[in-house]
Amino acid sequence: MERRAYYRNGTLPWLLIAPQLILVLVFFYWPTSQALYWAFTLEQPWGGGNSWVGLSNFLSIFGDGRYWATVGRSAFYAIAATGISMVIALTLAMFADRALKGTKLFQSVFVWPYAIAAPAAGVAFRFIFAPEAGIIGSINEMWPGIWNPATNGGHALAMVIVCHAWLGIGYNFIFFLAALQMLPRSLTEAGAMDGARPFQRMIDLQLPLIAPTVFFLLIMNLISSFTDSFGLIDVMTEGGPINSTEVMVYKLYVDGFKGLDYSGAAAQSIVLMLLVIALTFVQFRWVEKRVHYN
Amino acid sequence: MTAITLSSVKKRYQKTDVVHGVDVEIESGEFVVILGPSGCGKSTLLRMIAGLEEITSGTIAIGDTVVNNLEPRERGCAMVFQNYALYPHMSVAQNIGYALKVAGMPRAERDAKVLKVAKSVSLEPYLDRKPGELSGGQRQRVAMARAMVREPKVFLFDEPFSNLDAKLRVAMRAEVRSLHRGLGVTSVFVTHDQTEAMTLADRLIIMNAGVVEQVGKPSEVYNRPASLFVADFIGSPAMNLVRGFFADDGYFRHGKGGMIHLPTIAPNLLSKEVSVGVRPENVRRVPAGTKGAINAVVDYIEELGASRLIYADVDGSRIVAVDSANDALGTGMPVHFAFDTADLHVFSNDDGRRLDIATGLAATAALINA
């Protein structure tokens, strides 16, 4: 039973959707078209317009070992941040779902981190992980040099990943909790009658049944760690030390706005965009088709 | 031997008492049905036996073991849930075998056992299907097979047939009955359907508002209801219950000045506020002018095919009678009823309990216009 409203006036509907349309055009399609233009052209050395260079911008970034290093780093970052965030969120959601004391409170408390802007969280985590102060400071006093994200690339990357994961927990938690609460309680009760302990029930019964949600969150988290990591890295490490936290999105910013290599940066952003589009495509094709149990 | 012992079992959620002190002993091999309206605490009681619900106070023992603090898996009970609660992502075989898998039984042994149980409820052609591909009755069988495969000490059924259509329900009833005869496992079955309860039960536990109203064989419960609630709840159409008192002139006074000639009732009941009850199937139609007959006016008639129900007004009180005659009878017409005083039940209006009239009643004079 579909009821449609028809407009007799031809311009009114266009006026009504104009604000949204203008937003999308100005902030998405126009920059994208500019990026495409830059990616396939090169600005002449002394100005005077761009000349068409075909795929040579892409060939040069693909031929660059440092670019592939950022790709690898991005992949590691994405997998680690997604993994940590989802596992912790799932654990918390499991506890909240088991209706332990204070569940109502936790349901809202766990979501709050999601409302914190990445740069703000980045500043906070910089303080938390500062080698010279706080609990880490006293650990460093006992074992000098055991933790210093300012000089150790591994430490710096770990710090950013932990912060990124922490920021995502609230979002993941809400989805996991909603999915778990959609499962009829009698299913876990049947599992309990069948003799399965809580952890086994989680593995055998709950996880397979919330698989669509797990998959959805997996994709969303991966996408977010490819794109949203920029704010965090810019505030916390600026890609350093020695590029050890330079992921794809940060390298394209540095190359474009610091190195003024617009064409190279545009090519990188096209690659990143294709990656995100591919992930979104997988999400739509796979998740939408997955069996939903009723 | 006693299989399940409940002693003053109580359940309280925050501030509301759901079950107020239940004492029941269930014999080994018995098929007990807990019957009551929705919200009477019957499912809660069952879930407390299963271990899915904590017991606020009192003790539950299965065999000789007090199970209050045992996890469901340690109690040796299997349960069939109202909505079947099958694992939707597992095949029928996996559903049935899950308990065995959890228990760590080797695969070959497990498969053999699953097959055997599946055969006993004629499910073997469907072993590879998912629950979503089965009909309601088949899902019900999977749920039962899943309970049976563990060879439990006790079967618990939580309104298992409420999602089935009427015909299937009757079929499943017979199936459960014959399974119980075959396995002889102590069973506790919760339902709000009295036909289901009457046909299945060795013994009935009738609950209302968290209290056990009566425990007894179906025939006992039907013939000698222990309280007003049971009298009203058991039997369809429900028992005729009329509030009033026995006057010393040999009449029972009720409604708006209504009088029923009941001359020989116990003197100990005189002028007490009581309810008298008689089942519609025990109310007879008699010809006009019969001595002592109750004169009533037809309100309306329900045709049932083989018989009909006459809803009639007796001086402001409603009387229902089962009538097998097929003469023309319609709204506003006079009818005349009689019944044997042996079929009369008397209940106190104060606490709703049954009042014994047999002792005070002269058996010989028990018939009105015999």
Nearest CA in chain A to B47: A189
Rounded distance, CA B133 to CA B123, Å?
A: 13
Strands B57-62 and B31-35: unpaired
Contacts of A251 (CB under 8 A, 6+ apart): A66, A67, A70, A239, A268
Q: Find which of B87, B90, B139, B159 to mutate to test the A interface (most A CBs within 10 Å of its CB).
A: B87
Q: Find which of B81, B90, B148 to mutate to test the A interface (most A CBs within 10 Å of its CB).
A: B81
Predicted pLDDT of residue A127: 82
Mean pLDDT of B254-263: 74
Token pair for A101: 């004391």
Cβ-defined contact of B89 to A197 (cutoff 8 Å): no
The string over A9-23, giving b where at least 16 C-beta atoms fall within 10 Å of a residue's C-beta and e elsewhere, is eeeeeeeeeeeeeee
Predicted pLDDT of residue B33: 93
Neighbours of B6 (CB within 10 A): 22
Nearest CA in chain A to B52: A189
| Range of weakest confidence among A45-59, A81-95, B29-43 | A45-59
Nearest by Cα to B343 from B234, B224, B261:
B224
Q: Domain spanning B2-229: which superfamily?
A: P-loop containing nucleotide triphosphate hydrolases (3.40.50.300)
**pLDDT tens-digit map of A212-271:** 888 889 988 998 888 888 888 888 888 778 888 888 888 889 888 888 888 888 999 999
Rounded distance, CA A75 to CA A86, Å?
A: 16
Predicted pLDDT of residue B367: 38
Cβ-defined contact of A195 to B73 (cutoff 8 Å): yes
Cβ-defined contact of B71 to A192 (cutoff 8 Å): yes
Residues of A with CB under 8 A from a CB of B: 184, 186-187, 189-197, 200, 204-205, 208-209, 293-294
Domain ranges of chain B: 2-229, 237-365
Residue with tokens 């060939």: A59
The reply to whether B88 touches chain A by the CB within 8 Å rule is yes
Name the residue among B50, B73, B89 with its Cβ closest to that of A209: B89
Q: pLDDT-derived band of residue B249, with 50, 70 and 90 as boundaries?
A: confident
Residue with tokens 């794809």: A248
| pLDDT at B223 exceeding the cut of 80 | yes
DSSP-based three-state secondary structure for B227: strand
Cβ-defined contact of A190 to B89 (cutoff 8 Å): no
**pLDDT tens-digit map of A119-173:** 888 888 888 888 777 777 788 878 877 777 777 888 888 888 999 999 888 889 9
Token pair for B365: 């004079």
Provide the percentage of residues in chain A whose pLDDT is more than 90.
18
Q: In order of start, what are the domains of chain A with their CATH numbers?
A: 65-287 (1.10.3720.10)
Q: pLDDT-derived band of residue B366, with 50, 70 and 90 as boundaries?
A: very low
**CATH 2.40.50.140 at B237-365, yes or no:** yes
Q: Please give the sequence-ordered ranges of beta strands (E in DSSP) within chain A, or none if there are none.
A: 41-43, 50-52
Which sign does the torsion angle of CA B330, B332, B336, B338 carry? Answer: positive
| pLDDT at B156 exceeding the cut of 50 | yes
Name the residue among B82, B87, B99 with its Cβ closest to that of A187: B87
Predicted pLDDT of residue B253: 80
Contact A81, A164 (CB under 8 A): yes
**pLDDT tens-digit map of B319-355:** 899 988 878 888 888 898 888 888 888 888 888 888 8
Provide the percentage of residues in chain B whose pLDDT is more than 70.
94
Predicted pLDDT of residue B362: 37
Neighbours of A218 (CB within 10 A): 18
Q: Considering only residues A142 and A16, tell me which one the structure prediction assigns the higher pLDDT.
A: A16
Nearest by Cα to B24 from B37, B11, B9, B39:
B9
| pLDDT at B368 exceeding the cut of 60 | no
Residue with tokens 């609990």: A135
Instruction: Please return the burial class of A117, using the count of CB atoms within 10 Å of its CB with bins 0-12, 13-18 and 19+.
Output: exposed
Predicted pLDDT of residue B267: 67
Predicted pLDDT of residue A25: 94
| pLDDT at B307 exceeding the cut of 60 | yes
Chain B nearest-CA distance from A106, in A, is 20
Predicted pLDDT of residue B205: 92
Provide the percentage of residues in chain B whose pLDDT is more than 90.
17
Instruction: Name the strand (E) or helix (H) holding B313.
Output: strand B308-314
Predicted pLDDT of residue B295: 86
Q: What are phi and psi of A134, to 5 degrees?
A: 65, -155
| pLDDT at A67 exceeding the cut of 60 | yes
Rounded distance, CA B307 to CA B138, Å?
A: 36
ipTM for the complex?
Answer: 0.77
Q: Considering only residues A287 and B71, tell me which one the structure prediction assigns the higher pLDDT.
A: B71
pTM over 0.90? The answer is no
Residues 25-44 of B with CB under 8 A from A: none
Cis omega (within 30 of 0) for bond into B287 = no
Calculate the dihedral angle through the C-alpha atoms of A243, A249, A251, A257, rounding to the nearest 10 degrees.
-130
| pLDDT at B365 exceeding the cut of 80 | no
Rounded mean pLDDT of chain B?
Answer: 85
Predicted pLDDT of residue A75: 92
Mean pLDDT of B100-104: 89
| pLDDT at A294 exceeding the cut of 50 | no
